[in-house]
Structure 1
Amino acid sequence: MTTEVRVPTLGESVTEATVATWFKKPGDAVAQDEMLCELETDKVTVEVPAPAAGVLAEIVAAEGTTVGVDALLAMISEAGAAVAPAAAKPAAAAPAAAADTVDVMVPALGESVSEATVSTWFKKAGDTVAQDEMLCELETDKVSVEVPAPAAGVLAEILAPEGTTVAAGGKLAVISASGAVAAAAPAAAAAPAAAPAASGAKDIKDGPAAEKAMAEAGISRDAVTGTGRDGRATKVDVARAVAAAAAAPAAPAAAPRAPVSADDASREERVKMTRLRQTIARRLKDAQNNAAMLTTYNEVDMSAAMDLRSTYKDQFEKKHGVRLGFMSFFTKACVHALKEVPEVNAEIDGTDIVYKNYVHMGIAAGTPQGLVVPVIRDADQKSFAEIEKEIAEKGRRARDGKLSMAEMQGGSFTISNGGVYGSLMSSPILNPPQSGILGMHKIQDRAMVVNGQIVIRPMMYLALSYDHRIVDGKGAVTFLVRVKEALEDPRRLLMDL
């Protein structure tokens, strides 16, 4: 029995693609959903997974072939049907333990995330591993993903070393069953020695669409940084190189790095930015470039909120099993204010304003890997206890790098608490495409004039950064005043005042 491998849907208005790379050759065993080949269209690169497990019996469309949607790419035979052709090969060509190997694959990375970087291997080739033991950690633009061992055995080969960019569904390593330990360990040890020669001998060919784009633009291959598999250039890479070349004359020359002495250089350390840090840097700069960002400030007397928390915190924790913090107060106060000033909870989409009739509250959290923003969905419908539980649970998983992409998407407004680090005042940067972010700061005793008397009050500065394209100054100030009023008299939240 054979299974056909066909060209998948390529996207709206895209009718054909070019076969850029085959990752398997006829006679190779394939697992279901294992990547067989890569297609390149005018806009995107599409990976084609195996629709069934078996043996790649025939490749119908070779590399460089232009194929239409639903065209036949290859044929997969059942594993049993491939025995006869395989027998024609010398017996020594197939390792005795081949049937005992298990592939370690890149797991699903989340919606719209197609690749990750291998940041850390916890095991090395030749090590014994238990089922579900952590093998390595992958880093995407937003989260870290741990990859467990799918089976017990020996880590026979690492195919993607640290620093390698891998696609979703790609192969990371191979595990041999316990019986193949003796054979697998020497082979794994010998692999590093053979790698340089293999990589040097490999001729990496760019996709046809990229080559055509380079020819049309008159740009050399040396000017293009390939981000595809094995460093291949894609059409998008060529477009970036062309744009960079066009912008170069107009852009001021980058300031050269100041000369350093040999002694200073020996005490410096150069570390490549992680994908998460690069994404944070890019998104923050985009927020400054794309929005008319402005910040307004106010201050709040935290006495009432602190007294209320002090009075009920023990009963609250006993009943709900979670501590009563200030974040639930601020979340509720923001929800209250957003009802009156809905444009702060809206976003711009082209020439439209999209008003959200819900509040998905982003709570910024610092982690060892960088800043992440888990989202409390439908915060406007949750109680103090529900909000506190969700903040605690997601904050814990954020620090452990366990948050999924879905849990950090779709926020409509964000709260950032720099006060936990001692910040007295700062201007938070918008979290696009949101139009508002509230910055909390350190609670500090200050002398205040109340009813003509100088008294000491626990005060906090508040900062609202907003997109002035959609939020007017009056709306921003009104929002911040409503937050202040709700915190200084929490009873207003109960009365919806």
Structure 2
Amino acid sequence: MAIEVKVPALGESISSGILAGWQVKDGDIVEKDQVLYELETDKITSEGTAEAAGKISLKADEGDEVEIGQVIAEIDESAAGDSGSSEASEKETAEKDSEPAPEKETTDSPAVRRISEESGLDSAEVEGTGKGGRVTKGDMLSALEKKESAPEKSAPSKASAPAAKSEPKPTGDRPETRKKMSPLRRSIAQRLVSVQNESAILTTFNEVDMSAVMGLRKKYQDDFVKKHGIKLGFMSFFVKAVVEALKNVPGLNARLEGEELVQNHYYDIGVAVSTEKGLMVPVLRDCDQKSFSEIEQDLGDYAKKAREGKIQIDDLQGGVFSITNGGVFGSLLSTPIINPPQSGILGMHSIQQRPIAVDGQVVIRPMMYLAVSYDHRIVDGKEAVSFLVSIKNSIEDPARMLFGA
């Protein structure tokens, strides 16, 4: 009996994805719950597992765009546990591995074979960039472009070989690599353009003295780690400061829906996380009710899930306000773009020792520039400035967050 491997539903807003890679080969014997493939969508990257054990037959290639519900493979359960068949299959595979030509016929994707047949280009002569050195459709197309341009470059090189070697002239065929934009990167690009077109974004700036927060971290870090098993970072202070600022200036805790202004009465804060696939903004729920240790634990869990590519759709949905920290990459100042339909976002930056005036004296303090971008359709300039000043006050005097001052 053949079991169909279908692309699962991953959320109401997701209709398709890119088959980023197969973890098995066509004809492999797979076990139940074994990871078969990696699927990349415009929001997350997820893994698909086998529902049953058996011999797998692949129906889609790496790099293909596949629809939700599409059959991308079949598993023949009759081959499960058949050691004789497995041994025969392994022997057959070993024999094929010793013959280069037949191996190419069985491992090349249908798209690669089609290009090879139409162009006469042998895939064995092409350097593969796919998983395990596998030749992809893009590799074949790149090789064809180089092959077509080769005669044009070879003629002048014969006529003036020394000049070509000593000082090659720039041409239109400069080295470059092309690849299809990932769904996540495509979605980010569309959202950035969309929010710029549909919102009236302004940014206000301020700077904050980090001495008090850094002093608290230094004083209580060891005890905090011993008690909670996780370090006390800067982000939990800023999350709490944002919650206090949203309470003081509720205009930034709102969103537009058509012609209606929706006021939020909860405090779910999104924190931008940079991953290999692109920027994601997982949401910390009910931050007004959480302690510093609970916020740090949530941040640690999301960071781990991001590294492992296991962030889910539910982790990214909702959120009333976002925080992004470009300082971890060395950014001194930036103008962050709001995460729609939210009305604001806080940008943190790198901490630098700078001279400032305190009580008529010039002192050196660890300073950070802060930026709040806001949707001017919802938020007035006075509100935005007041919001940022509230954050500044909370960070420079953390006791305010404990007593709600």
Amino acid at match of 1:274: S
Match of 2:295 among 378, 387, 410: 387
Which residue number corresponds to residue 286 of structure 1?
A: 194
Instruction: Provide the rounded CA distance (Å) in 2 between the counterparts of 1:355 and 1:370.
Output: 30
1:467 and 2:356 equivalent?
A: no
Amino acid at match of 1:364: A
1:328 and 2:236 equivalent?
A: yes
Classify 1:320/1:349 alpha carbon distance in 2 versus 1 (closer, same or farther; 3 Å): same
- Do the aligned partners of 1:126 and 1:188 also contact (CA within 8 Å) in 2? no
By how many angstroms is 1:198 displaced?
A: 12
Match of 1:142 among 43, 49, 56: 43
Classify 1:496/1:162 alpha carbon distance in 2 versus 1 (closer, same or farther; 3 Å): same
- Do the aligned partners of 2:322 and 2:346 also contact (CA within 8 Å) in 1? yes
Match of 1:151 among 47, 52, 68: 52
Instruction: Provide the rounded CA distance (Å) in 2 between the counterparts of 1:438 and 1:277.
Output: 22
Amino acid at match of 1:451: D
Amino acid at match of 1:393: D
My pick for the range that moved more, 127-136 or 482-491, is: 127-136
- Do the aligned partners of 1:436 and 1:467 also contact (CA within 8 Å) in 2? yes
Instruction: Provide the rounded CA distance (Å) in 1 between the counterparts of 2:261 and 2:214.
Output: 38
1:161 and 2:61 equivalent?
A: yes
- Do the aligned partners of 2:23 and 2:36 also contact (CA within 8 Å) in 1? yes
Amino acid at match of 2:365: R
By how many angstroms is 1:458 displaced?
A: 0.2
By how many angstroms is 1:398 displaced?
A: 1.5
- Do the aligned partners of 1:120 and 1:137 also contact (CA within 8 Å) in 2? yes
Instruction: Provide the rounded CA distance (Å) in 2 between the counterparts of 1:399 and 1:363.
Output: 15
1:133 and 2:34 equivalent?
A: yes
Match of 1:304 among 192, 212, 224: 212
1:111 and 2:12 equivalent?
A: yes
Which residue number corresponds to residue 244 of structure 1?
A: none
My pick for the range that moved more, 108-117 or 443-452, is: 108-117
Structure 1 unaligned blocks of 5 or more: 1-98, 201-260
By how many angstroms is 1:116 displaced?
A: 1.4
By how many angstroms is 1:306 displaced?
A: 0.5
Instruction: Provide the rounded CA distance (Å) in 2 between the counterparts of 1:480 and 1:194.
Output: 55
Classify 1:311/1:194 alpha carbon distance in 2 versus 1 (closer, same or farther; 3 Å): closer
TM (norm. structure 2) is 0.78
By how many angstroms is 1:197 displaced?
A: 13
The Cα RMSD (Å) is 2.6
By how many angstroms is 1:188 displaced?
A: 11
By how many angstroms is 1:163 displaced?
A: 2.2
1:173 and 2:173 equivalent?
A: no
**Per residue, is there more helix in 1 or in 2?**
2
Amino acid at match of 1:140: T
Instruction: Provide the rounded CA distance (Å) in 2 between the counterparts of 1:346 and 1:194.
Output: 50
Which residue number corresponds to residue 253 of structure 1?
A: none
C-alpha offsets along residues 144-181 of structure 1, whole Å, 9 cap, x if unaligned? 011122233332x2112122222222212122324355
Q: Secondary structure at the match of 1:118?
A: strand
Alignment length, in residue pairs?
A: 338
Instruction: Provide the rounded CA distance (Å) in 2 between the counterparts of 1:133 and 1:444.
Output: 49
Q: Secondary structure at the match of 2:232?
A: coil
Instruction: Provide the rounded CA distance (Å) in 2 between the counterparts of 1:291 and 1:306.
Output: 36
Q: Secondary structure at the match of 1:265?
A: coil
- Aligned runs of 1:374-453 on 2, under 5 Å? 374-453=282-361
Tell me which stretches of 4 or more aligned residues in structure 1 moved more than 6 Å. 183-194, 196-200
Structure 2 unaligned blocks of 5 or more: 97-101, 116-168
- Do the aligned partners of 1:154 and 1:175 also contact (CA within 8 Å) in 2? yes
TM (norm. structure 1) is 0.64
Identity of aligned residues (%): 51
By how many angstroms is 1:263 displaced?
A: 5.8
Where relative contact order (Cα < 8 A, 6+ residues apart) is larger, the structure is 2
- Aligned runs of 1:19-34 on 2, under 5 Å? none
